[in-house]
Amino acid sequence: MSELNRHWIVGPGALGRLIALRLATRASEGVEVALLGRRRLAASQTLVTPDGTPLTRALTMATVDTPPSPPPDVVHLVTKAYAADAAHRTLAAHLPPGTPLVLWQNGFDCQPRLTERHAGPVLCATTTEGAFVASDDRVVHAGHGQTLVGALDGGHRALADALARRLDGAGLPARAVGDIRARLWQKLAVNAAINPLVARFRIRNGQLRDRPFRPMVEAVIIEVAGIMAAEGVAPPEGEGLEGWRALVWRVVAGTANNRASMLQDVLAGRPTEHRAILGPLLAAAARHGQEVPRIAALQAELCGLATNLADPAS
Ligand code: KPL
């Protein structure tokens, strides 16, 4: 597997810029980064590291319909879940067949579709890195996390290893895994129990521990645990309902002061990712003949809260 040197990052949100700016710190090793969006951002971007140090780098900026040349060694699709298909469609025409694609979306919606459709190897990534955009030319890396990468069928191991090495070397701890499908479902389970409720009630994650929200979270966890059992996805630690419960409350405690991504979307008037997070749960419940009234009600409420417009690389 050749070194992954030329990276196109599609979607200049907080995570996209974090990945771009961290990779750009390895320029002396031959790493080249281009950041692609709907519009061109300021070429000089600053990353504020978790210890408060500003790192400024000049990045190649381009738009998805006029990408730079030469072609990349790897494309990272870091758009919101609802924008991934459209961004991929626009970009695919500019990519030589065989170009590896990395999908960084939340939920479990576009991943199987794009794995099928893309003319080259596809990896999925899930990360607990925390970042937010402070301004047009500034992103804050709020907290260190861990990134896992792998193909849905567990294949492309050498590519996943090379990518994990590249990210790791750039200051984003990463590891290749053979079970990324289960990892994506585990993150989806956490997101489903936290994000719709905090977005609906406009509260920080930690407030879910208080009345009247706690029983609402518990009710969602019970439905999620039932779906996961039917899908054969186990919690990362512990077993069954207790394992899912422990995971969700651990994440709530660890992110108590955060405004979850879905709440940030609602507050900013953006579409939310509810379809990519709750949609696969509802589809799985229907497949297994399960009634999930709480999740169905959240989906209906979220549909009313924000229109889920398809939007190219945001
Ligand atoms: O992933 C998250 C998000 O904000 O989207 C957390 C904070 C873990 C809650 O689901």
| CATH number of residue 15's parent domain | 3.40.50.720
Residue nearest to atom 10 of ligand 1 (CA): 191
Cβ contacts of 93 within 8 Å, gap of 6 or more: none
In a domain, 47, yes or no: yes
1 domain residue, yes or no = no
pLDDT at 132 over 90: no
- From the CB of 258, is ligand 1 less than 6 Å away? yes
Higher pLDDT, 43 or 290: 290
The set of catalytic residues is: 187
249 Cα: distance to centroid of ligand 1 (angstroms):
12
Q: Which residues contact 226 (CB under 8 A, 6 or more apart)?
A: 285, 290, 292
The one-character DSSP state at 42 is P
pLDDT band at 2; cut points 50, 70, 90: low
What pLDDT does residue 310 have? 38
Domain end point (choices 159, 178, 197): 178
Residue 308's pLDDT is: 42
Cα–Cα distances in angstroms (integers) from residue 250 to residues 181, 205, 206, 256, 274, in the given order: 21, 11, 10, 10, 22
What is the whole-number distance in angstroms between the Cα of residue 298 and the centre of ligand 1? Answer: 16
What's the pLDDT band for 74 if we cut at 50, 70, 90?
A: very high
Q: Which residues contact 287 (CB under 8 A, 6 or more apart)?
A: 230
Both 97 and 194 in a single domain? no
Instruction: Please work out whether the CB of residue 255 comes within 6 Å of at least one atom of ligand 1.
Output: yes
Same domain, 168 and 38: yes
Do 33 and 107 belong together in one domain?
yes
CB of 186 sitting under 6 A from ligand 1 = no
126 Cβ below 6 A of ligand 1: no
Q: Given 155, 178, 201, which residue is the final one in a domain?
A: 178
Say yes or no: 126 and 80 in one domain. Answer: yes
Residue where a domain terminates, one of 114, 143, 178: 178
Q: Which of 126, 127, 252, 258 to mutate to test the pocket of ligand 1 (most atoms within 8 A of CB)?
A: 258
Reported as a single tens digit per residue, the pLDDT across 195-244 is 999 999 999 999 999 999 999 999 999 999 999 999 999 999 999 999 99
C-alpha span between 257 and 96 (Å, rounded): 44
Closest C-alpha to 102, from 66, 148, 38: 148
Q: How confident is the model at residue 3 (pLDDT cuts 50, 70, 90)?
A: confident
pLDDT in tens, 291-307: 999 999 999 999 887 54
Say if 314 falls within a structural domain.
Answer: no
Give which of 118, 107, 135 is closest to 308, Cα–Cα: 107
Dist. CA 260 → ligand 1 center (Å):
5
| 70 within domain boundaries | yes
Percentage of the chain exceeding pLDDT 90: 85
CA 65 to ligand 1 centroid distance, Å: 31
- CA distances for 279 relative to 106, 183, 274, 285, 303, angstroms: 12, 17, 7, 10, 11
198 ligand 1 Cβ < 6 A: no
Domain co-membership, 188 together with 63: no
Q: Which atom of ligand 1 is nearest to the CA of 264?
A: 4
ipTM for this model: 0.95
Q: Which residue has the tokens 């402070």?
A: 134
153 Cα to the center of ligand 1, angstroms: 25
pLDDT digits (tens, 9 = 90+) for 139-157: 999 888 999 999 999 999 9
Interval between CA 220 and ligand 1 midpoint (Å):
15
Q: Is the pLDDT of residue 313 over 90?
A: no
Residue-level pLDDT at 1: 57
Do 38 and 163 sit in the same domain of this protein?
yes
Ligand 1 binding pocket includes 177 (Cβ within 6 Å): no
Instruction: Assess whether 165 and 272 both reside in one domain.
Output: no
How much distance in Å is there from the Cα of 195 to the middle of ligand 1? 6
Residue 42's pLDDT is: 87
Find residue 9's DSSP bridge partners. 35, 76
Q: Is the CB of 251 under 6 A from ligand 1?
A: yes
End-to-end CA distance of the chain: 31
Higher pLDDT, 43 or 222: 222
Considering the entire predicted model, what is its pTM?
A: 0.93
* Shared domain check, 126 and 112: yes
**Residues 78 and 113 grouped into a single domain:** yes
Q: By alpha-carbon position, which residue is closest to atom 1 of ligand 1?
A: 191
From CA 247, how far away is CA 107, in angstroms rounded?
17
Q: What's the number of domains the chain is made of?
A: 2
Q: Specify the ligand 1 atom closest to the Cα of 263.
A: 4
Residue that wins the pLDDT comparison between 307 and 112: 112
Q: What is the pLDDT of residue 238?
A: 95
Q: What is the pLDDT of residue 143?
A: 85
Kindly report the protein residue whose alpha carbon is nearest to atom 2 of ligand 1. Answer: 260
What average pLDDT does this structure show over 31-57?
A: 93
Specify whether 61 is located in the same domain as 81: yes
Write the residue with the smallest CA distance to atom 4 of ligand 1: 260
User: DSSP letters along 211-240, please?
Assistant: TTHHHHHHHHHHHHHHHHHHHT---SSS-H
Q: What is the mean pLDDT of residues 306-313?
A: 42
The answer to whether the CB of 105 is under 6 A from ligand 1 is: no
Q: Which two tokens stand for residue 274?
A: 């509810």
Q: Which of 68-72, 74-78, 123-127, 282-286 has the lowest mean pLDDT?
A: 68-72
- 196 and 261 in a single domain? The answer is yes
Which domain, by its residues, includes 116?
Answer: 6-178
For the cut 50, the answer to whether the pLDDT of residue 52 exceeds it is yes
- Is residue 124 located within the same domain as residue 16? yes
Is residue 126 in some structural domain? yes
Mean pLDDT of the chain: 93
